[in-house]
Structure 1
Amino acid sequence: MIDVLLLTVCLGLQDAQTDETPALLRGGVWLARLGGTIQDGGGKIDFEDSISLLSKEKVPLLEFSLQPTSTLTMSLSFFDFSTSGNGTFIGNDVYGGVTFANGNAWSGSTDIQSVGIETSWSIWQPYKTSEDATLTFAPVAGLRWFGIDTKLSNDSSAQEVTHANTWVTLQAGLEMEFRWDTRNTLDWADFISIDAQLLVGAMLGNDGGAMASIQTGISVDFTPNIGGFFGYRLQELNAEDGTYTFDAGLQGLFLGGEIRF
């Protein structure tokens, strides 16, 4: 609903001029690592200090964006993270009614799936050198769905606690893009872009929560239709459901390829 309203307002305030290649399909991998804590009726259990569930995983990334006008961009994105591990528990705590003592054998897993849709409106260009270099700022608004499953077992006592939750985030923020036309400068690239985005939002569902996202990267168009990208992404969540709190996130480098059409 937010994206539809923003799209309607933006289309009413500008012409319908579009780029020659208004659609962009991106595919890549996010080298993400889980960090943070979970809590359920006791103290906070740290993914790094208590159970060491922090291995770096290769997370598939997919994104499709469309420019219905020259300044408006709508995008749909998806990622699917999964990690698991086992070891000996460090510390003494209670989680979901299960007691974990120092040295107990544990096993666990965390799965995070997410689908998001957002709209950005490039309304401010504080720097523009003819058509060769442009710095643009754009407000962003959208929705993102999170499905989060966690499992933690005390293998020493054969007890297990599982949580399967979903939240929808209403998010907004700002993004920046510096785009450089290199067709007259470099033989191997048509355009080079540096971009950054900051989003914050409220999580709806269960007992709610908050989220924050930071992303920055560089993309290179080798031809008018084919390019590559590289960058860093941080996704932080603080979501609650009764006594259960998932206060954790993902971070890491990402890279991949893109096609414009």
Structure 2
Amino acid sequence: MERGTRQDAAARFDPLRPRLVRVAYRMLGSVADAEDMVQEAFIRWMGTDQAAIREPEAFLRRVVTRLCLDHLKSAHVRRETYVGPWLPDPLVEEDAGEEEEDVTLPLMLALERLSPLERAAFLLHDVFGLGFAEVAATVGRDAAACRQLAARARTHVREARPRFRIARDRGLEIAGAFFAASRSGDMSALGAMLAQDVSMHSDGGGKRPATIRPALGFAQVMQLHKALGILFRKHGSQLVRVCFVNGLPGFVTLEADGEYQTTALDIEDGRIAAIYVMRNPDKLRHLH
């Protein structure tokens, strides 16, 4: 490919890169892996006859999705040996757009229980709004099969989709109050924010201290935060910003070991129903 033609091909690809990364991330739950898949798609794009492609975005979305389907097979094996709870890489945003509100962290965890094809069909149709004809062309199945894949996926993830979206400002207000109470050890204020069936999930990946199993129920979560409050008061925990983490209200902190940490709060009926803490430094590297 001549230099001018290569530059034209790259220029056509670059505006599509963020959308392709978003597709790959929803499929894989890993920022680094998503970027790798999109870079591989770019390499293939540069070696393709550009004149033969009428719809570059559709072509590239198919390439990225198929690369992700192949990658999920090996990712499944790696996660079987993962230390402690597995959480997707945190995406940190100042505001949560409509798509981010639809694909929150609980939904991404629910997607992990689907087959790769179910996951692809659900995301492409229900989240990215593609017709089943295009979904079929992307995953290599007929439209009727894709319709069934998406329907099965929808049944599995229905409970994980947000039923009552909390107002943006109220969500961030609760996140800020949770940070203050958890770091100061104000157990009374903390307890007033938690639902009775609250759960806490912490992903350290075996590389930083974290709970090996989720804390389930009000008593367990309160007991854990009582111990954490002592550590926070002794060693410190600096608030970087209150924000949205994977579509949920939360915050980023700089901890005593010099590493970042993200906390995301699933809020239902004004109470915190689940707490998701990311401590694995490999999954926080992109925040730097």
TM-score w.r.t. structure 2 length? Answer: 0.23
Between Structure 1 and Structure 2, the one with more strand by share is: 1
More helix by share: 2
Could you state the TM-score of these two structures normalised by the residue count of structure 1?
A: 0.25
